[in-house]
Amino acid sequence: MLAGGKTCTYGMLWVVSAVLAQISAEDTHKARALRLMSETPLIDGHNDLPWQLRVQFNNQLNKVDLNTLQTTHTNIPKIKEGRLGAQFWSAFVPCEAQYKDAVRQTLEQIDVIHRMCQKYPDAFMFATSSQDILEAFRQNRTASLIGVEGGHSLDSSLGTLRTMYHLGVRYLTLTHSCNTPWADNWLVDTGSEPSEHNGLSPFGKQLILEMNRLGMLVDLAHVPVQVMNQVLDMSKAPVIFSHSSAYAVCPHKRNVPDDILKRVREKQGIVMVNFYNAYITCSGTANLSDVADHFDHIKKVAGADIIGFGGDYDGVSSVPMGLEDVSKVPDLVAELLRRGWTDEEVKAALGNNLLRVLKEVETIRDSLSGTSLDDVPIPYDEVKNSCRTSYGYPDPGNAGAIPSLSLLALLLTLASNTAITLTDTL
């Protein structure tokens, strides 16, 4: 009886010791994660809190306190606990606004992000550059950048693109879940929507080059593979996927195939891993370890230098167990360390990769500073609809309107008239 009792006691002690050792190891990984996050800013590529402010409060910030808000994945205490160094806040409006009031609604989302920073200056610092991110991190504030999610927000206008850049927008997701008059969206790859432009139209290609000139990040998170390849072929600057995961791990058309991951590496861009369950496991449930699998896969295929965090908090209906809100991200960092990621690899994914990409985009912008901006509008036939006026475009119904002639014909006509005048004078 005593011998058996001793055996049982020793067995229990062994189990307790093993559990304590595991807890100690987990504590070590978490402590190491927090140390790395104190040295390098965690930069998240996509958060839809501004859209929640729209749908829950109609952007009336006076009716909400971000210190106590509990109906979102994101509030100020959660941000602090999650060590969020910088955030691209999404200025998103639904595709239903296309051809209607998308520009107005997007400007209102840009406005609410500015006001959020003004109302909580101790928590947020508005940022538009890589240097701003580092300065906010030094001040222990969350650098707050803007990304516009969906090209329909531009109403096919380069002037609107430039205006939004001046207001602080630093990336444009080319499409959301609808085709624009100049680009196909990711649903084309599912077969549920037809291709309208064979990827990008000529105007869509104009827009990519103008984004390069401005210094605006090109975000490929919601586009079909054909558009991914077209942009990777022509962009002078690195590209981003602000909130997409690995297609090989979960074959959802919103995720990035391996061949594109390799091209992103060649372009020195970044893929910021999305936490939405449907993009992580292609099902309604997922856990923190499943998300880490995407990090591991991207690192294996294309290296740690193209990876980032793009949680998509407050923009999705389900998130993994263990990543319930923005406060939980340090646990994911600890999991990467547990899996053998080095300090340098983790720092790259946390923020150094995005900082490198943004600095390169800024460098290319500066190198193109002497280049004339593109002010050739999209052809009217490509945007004509009942909600759009045609001011500035040629009026084919006006027989006396010279603009209906091509530029070459106009020049030839002027040259001919000049020659006749000179002959008459002689």
Per-residue pLDDT of the chain (426 residues; tens, 9 = 90+): 444 555 545 555 455 444 445 556 678 999 999 999 999 999 999 999 999 999 999 999 999 999 999 999 999 999 999 999 999 999 999 999 999 999 999 999 999 999 999 999 999 999 999 999 999 999 999 999 999 999 999 999 999 999 999 999 999 999 999 999 999 999 999 999 999 999 999 999 999 999 999 999 999 999 999 999 999 999 999 999 999 999 999 999 999 999 999 999 999 999 999 999 999 999 999 999 999 999 999 999 999 999 999 999 999 999 999 999 999 999 999 999 999 999 999 999 999 999 999 999 999 999 999 999 999 999 999 999 999 999 999 875 543 333 433 444 444 444 444 443 333 334
Phi–psi pair at 275, nearest 5 degrees: -100, 5
Which position among 44, 48, 210, 219 bears the catalytic label?
A: 48
Which position among 73, 222, 294, 297 bears the catalytic label?
A: 222
Which position among 44, 73, 132, 149 bears the catalytic label?
A: 149
Nearest-Å Rg of the Cα atoms of the chain is 26
Task: Indicate if 48 belongs to the active site.
Answer: yes
pLDDT value for 182: 98
Instruction: Give buried/exposed letters for 156-181 (b at 16+ CB in 10 A, else e).
Output: bebebbbebbebbbbbbbbbbebbbb
Task: Indicate if 243 belongs to the active site.
Answer: yes
Phi–psi pair at 139, nearest 5 degrees: -90, 5
239 neighbors 231 (Cβ within 8 angstroms): yes
Which position among 29, 73, 152, 243 bears the catalytic label?
A: 243
Token match 């975000």: residue? 219
Task: Indicate if 26 belongs to the active site.
Answer: no
Q: Which of 338, 342, 352 is nearest to 305 (CA)?
A: 352
pLDDT value for 5: 54
pLDDT value for 28: 95
Task: Indicate if 176 belongs to the active site.
Answer: yes
164 neighbors 147 (Cβ within 8 angstroms): no
What's the Cα-to-Cα distance from 342 to each of 33, 279, 338, 346, 413, rounded to whole Å? 11, 26, 10, 6, 69
244 neighbors 310 (Cβ within 8 angstroms): yes
Which position among 132, 312, 314, 345 bears the catalytic label?
A: 312
Task: Indicate if 222 belongs to the active site.
Answer: yes
CATH class of domain segment(s) 22-367: alpha beta
Which position among 29, 73, 152, 176 bears the catalytic label?
A: 176
Residues in the chain: 426
Q: Which of 403, 108, 58, 357 is nearest to 220 (CA)?
A: 357
Which position among 29, 44, 46, 335 bears the catalytic label?
A: 46
205 neighbors 159 (Cβ within 8 angstroms): no
pLDDT value for 27: 87
